[in-house]
Amino acid sequence: MRRMLIGTATVVAVLLAGCSTRSGDGPDTDSAPRSSPAAEKSSDFGTLKDLCGPGTARSSSVQGVTDDKIQVGVMSDIGFTKRSEFVDAAKVFTSWCNDAGGINGRDLVPVTRDAKLMEVRQRVLEACKADFALVGGGSALDSLGVKDRLKCLLPNFPAQSSQIGAIGSDLQVLASGPTAGYFQYAGYYSWLLKDKYPDSARKVGVIAGDAPVTKVMAAQFKEAVAGLGGTVSYSDLYPAAGVSDWTPYAQSIKKGGVKGLVFLGDFASLAKLEQALTGIGYTPDWIDANSNAYGPAFPQLAGAALGKQHNYAELFATAPLESAGDNPAVQQVIDLFEKYAPGKQVTYPALRAFSAWLLFATAARDCAELTRKCLYENAMKNTAFTAGGLQAPFDLTSKEPPECYVIVEATAKGWQAADFRPDHGAYRCDAPTYKYKGDYGKPVTLADVGKSLADLT
């Protein structure tokens, strides 16, 4: 789905729009430092008990596994984006787990595989030669390395997956969505179009960055909106290199009477568009800012426009950071960041990375003999994985998307939970299923590279 584009920050932001595949903003790291001996040692995370701890590990000849260490790779675009969310999460989780005794006595050693946007294949090939698995990372062009990963039978527990060739690919273990072949936001859009703003259903607009990835995404959103009972009455592209004046776009949106706006691009551009909309006195019923905007930067950039414009985002089924007061697992992540990575921000991608690490750790812990086969099979047995409370239950045995979702709203004071009527704690669990009818490509399989699950050892 995604193709290599000119290397500008704006284009990368367009690439990432709607996929939430962001990675960190700090220095690279090859291993997690141990905290001081005085640090509190706990083997539990949220509702997950005895996750990390001492043990007597058997000798192993498995790549990346020794008597006292497990080396895993962490994919990232940190060298390009300068964002360290996945690297920070790896440092924090492994430091905490190692302090508690590791995985049955083996320390976790994360190695950052920095794709720098365009070098996905190179980093995957390096991981193929040294790592036990890939855990808690992601890269914008992740489909570029899938065939190489499958050829070397390397399991991947990503924080986020971006491209059609990667989402749902074999040996990929996602702790929560997305699910290949399905519209991931069916519950969210049903709420927007039917519950919250029914008058907007016939006047939906889609504006996307002029890049191959977002053009495909725009086609998917148009199909899904129609499939959920809406009508896309306005569609436009904006240059991936950026826009100097968003007023003409705002005027076109107003002229078209757009009541619901899907924006597939970088949130800095969205902030400028909303300022232009506010400047001409036009306010759609809703704007889907997408989860890449979920964080403090977007409200700061949009400023006073958020007093007029109604921005929402879906976080799949991940508990929002604003729920920390009621969610011990979210609060625990915040506390662990303060302890092991002081000054680093806990973000939505960091929460998803933690979910990936927790799934990996539970699967590895329960292996009498740690092998890739055991790791993968243990992980894929989960029918209601909650990451200790960080997310709604996720069934890894199912090929259909989950029914639960979370919606947040951007305000002038920051992000907060939207009034989407949750019915299972912080989640609403009535999402319909919408399977794409158009041909947008498919995930890579082991068969595509001449392999099968029988080859996994």
Contacts of 5 (CB under 8 A, 6+ apart): 11, 14, 15, 211, 212, 240
Q: Which of 120-129, 211-220, 278-287, 383-392 has the lowest mean pLDDT?
A: 211-220
pLDDT at 450 over 50: yes
Mean pLDDT across the chain, nearest whole number?
A: 91
41-57 in b/e burial notation, b at 16+ Cβ within 10 A? eebebbebeebbbeeeb
What is the pLDDT at residue 174? 97
> Among residues 140, 137, 129, which one has the least CA distance to residue 94?
137
Q: Residue 420 above 80 pLDDT?
A: yes
Residue 456 covered by a domain: no
User: Do 125 and 241 share a domain, yes or no?
Assistant: no
Q: Is residue 440 part of a domain?
A: no
| Peptide bond preceding 178 in cis form (omega within 30 of 0) | yes
Check whether residue 246 and residue 340 sit in a common domain: no
Is 200 found in the same domain as 335? no
pLDDT exceeds cutoff 70 at 224: yes
pLDDT the model gives residue 60:
86
411 with 359, same domain: the answer is no
Mean pLDDT of 193-212: 96
- Same domain? For 327 and 286 the reply is no
- % of the chain at pLDDT higher than 90: 87
Please indicate, yes or no, if residue 446 is contained in any of the structural domains.
no
pLDDT in tens, 349-380: 999 999 999 999 999 999 999 999 999 999 99
Give the Cα separation of 391 and 385 in Å (integer).
8
| Structure confidence at residue 5 (pLDDT) | 32
For residue 16, name the pLDDT band (cuts at 50, 70, 90).
low
Residues 156 and 103 in one domain: yes
- Range of weakest confidence among 17-21, 217-221, 381-385: 17-21
Q: Does 394 reside within a domain?
A: yes
The answer, yes or no, to whether residue 290 has pLDDT greater than 60, is: yes
Backbone phi and psi for residue 40, each to the nearest 5 degrees, phi listed first: -65, 135
Residue environment code for 93-112, b if the CB has 16+ CB neighbours within 10 A, otherwise e: bbbbbbbbbbbbebbbbbbb
* Residue at 170 is within a domain: yes
C-alpha to C-alpha distance for 381 and 398, rounded to whole angstroms: 10
210 & 333 share domain: no
User: Quick one: 294 and 410 in the same domain?
Assistant: yes
What CATH number is attached to the domain comprising 300?
3.40.50.2300
Q: Average pLDDT for residues 89-103, to the nearest whole number?
A: 98
User: Looking at residue 72, what is its pLDDT?
Assistant: 98
- Structural domain boundaries enclosing 387: 1-182+320-398
Are 95 and 156 contained in the same domain? yes
What is d(CA 300, CA 67) in angstroms, rounded to the nearest whole number? 49
Residues 84 and 191 in one domain: no
Residue 50 lies in a domain: yes
pLDDT, tens digit (0-9, with 9 covering 90-100), for 99-151 = 999 999 999 999 999 999 999 999 999 999 999 999 999 999 999 999 999 99
User: Does the residue 267 lie in any domain?
Assistant: yes
Task: Check pLDDT > 60 for residue 1.
Answer: no
Residues 428-440: tens digit of each pLDDT:
999 999 999 999 9
d(CA 354, CA 143) in angstroms, rounded, equals 22
Q: Phi, psi at residue 213, to the nearest 5°?
A: -65, -50
Q: Could you tell me the pLDDT band of residue 242, with boundaries at 50, 70 and 90?
A: confident
pLDDT higher than 90, residue 244: yes
Q: Are residues 270 and 414 in the same domain?
A: yes
Give the pLDDT of residue 31.
39
For 136-270, list the strands marked E by DSSP. 156-157, 204-209, 232-238, 260-264
What is the per-residue pLDDT for 21? Answer: 37
Residues 152 and 243 in one domain: no
Closest by CA to 119, choosing from 150, 80, 172, is 80
Q: Is residue 452 part of a domain?
A: no
Structural domains counted in the chain: 2
